[in-house]
Amino acid sequence: MTRPYVLLSVAVSLDGYIDDAGPERLLLSDAADFDRVDRVRAESDAILVGAETLRRDNPRLLVDSAERRAARVAAGKPEFPLKVTVTARGDLDRELNFWHHGGAKIVYTTDSGAARLADRLVGIADVVALGAELDFGALLDDLGRRGVGRLMVEGGTGMHTAFLSADLADELHLAVAPIVVGDSGAPRFLADARFPGGPARRRTLAAVERVGDMAVLRYLLRPEAVDS
Answer whether residue 26 is part of any domain.
yes
86 within 8 A of 143, measured Cβ to Cβ: no
Whether residue 204 is predicted with pLDDT greater than 90 in this model: the reply is: yes
Answer whether residue 197 is part of any domain.
yes
pLDDT in tens, 129-157: 999 999 999 999 999 999 999 999 998 99
Residue 1 pLDDT level (bands cut at 50, 70, 90): low
Average pLDDT across the chain, whole number: 95
Alpha-carbon separation of residue 170 from 4, 12, 17, 224 (angstroms): 9, 19, 22, 8
Answer whether residue 225 is part of any domain.
no
Whether residue 227 is predicted with pLDDT greater than 70 in this model: the reply is: no
pLDDT of residue 185: 93
**% residues pLDDT > 90 (the chain):** 94
pLDDT of residue 85: 98
Answer whether residue 111 is part of any domain.
yes
Whether residue 225 is predicted with pLDDT greater than 90 in this model: the reply is: no
pLDDT of residue 165: 97
How much is the pTM? 0.95
pLDDT in tens, 211-220: 999 999 999 9
Residue 228 pLDDT level (bands cut at 50, 70, 90): low
pLDDT in tens, 11-63: 999 999 999 999 889 999 999 999 999 999 999 999 999 999 999 999 999 99
pLDDT of residue 212: 97
Answer whether residue 226 is part of any domain.
no
**What are residue 7's DSSP bridge partners?**
152, 171
The per-residue DSSP string of the chain comes to --PPEEEEEEEE-TTSBSS-SSSSPP--S-HHHHHHHHHHHHT-SEEEEEHHHHHHH--------HHHHHHHHHTTS-SSPEEEEEESS----TTSGGGGSSS-EEEEE-HHHHHHHTTTTTTT-EEEE--SS--HHHHHHHHHHTT--EEEEEE-HHHHHHHHHTT---EEEEEEPS-----TTSPBS--S---TTGGGPPPEEEEEEEETTEEEEEEE-STT----
- Domains in the chain: how many in total? 1
Q: CA-CA distance, 202 to 192, in Å (whole number)?
A: 18
State mean pLDDT over 189-209.
95
Answer whether residue 227 is part of any domain.
no
HSE value, Cβ hemisphere, 13 Å, CA-based, for 15: 11
Comparing 60-64, 115-119, 173-177, the range with the smallest average pLDDT is: 115-119
CATH for 184:
3.40.430.10
**% residues pLDDT > 70 (the chain):** 97
pLDDT of residue 222: 83
60 within 8 A of 102, measured Cβ to Cβ: yes
Whole domain around residue 168: which residue ranges?
5-220
pLDDT of residue 223: 72
Answer whether residue 228 is part of any domain.
no
Q: CA-CA distance, 29 to 51, in Å (whole number)?
A: 22
Whether residue 128 is predicted with pLDDT greater than 80 in this model: the reply is: yes
Q: Please state at what angle helix 31-42 crosses helix 66-74, rounded to 10 degrees.
A: 10
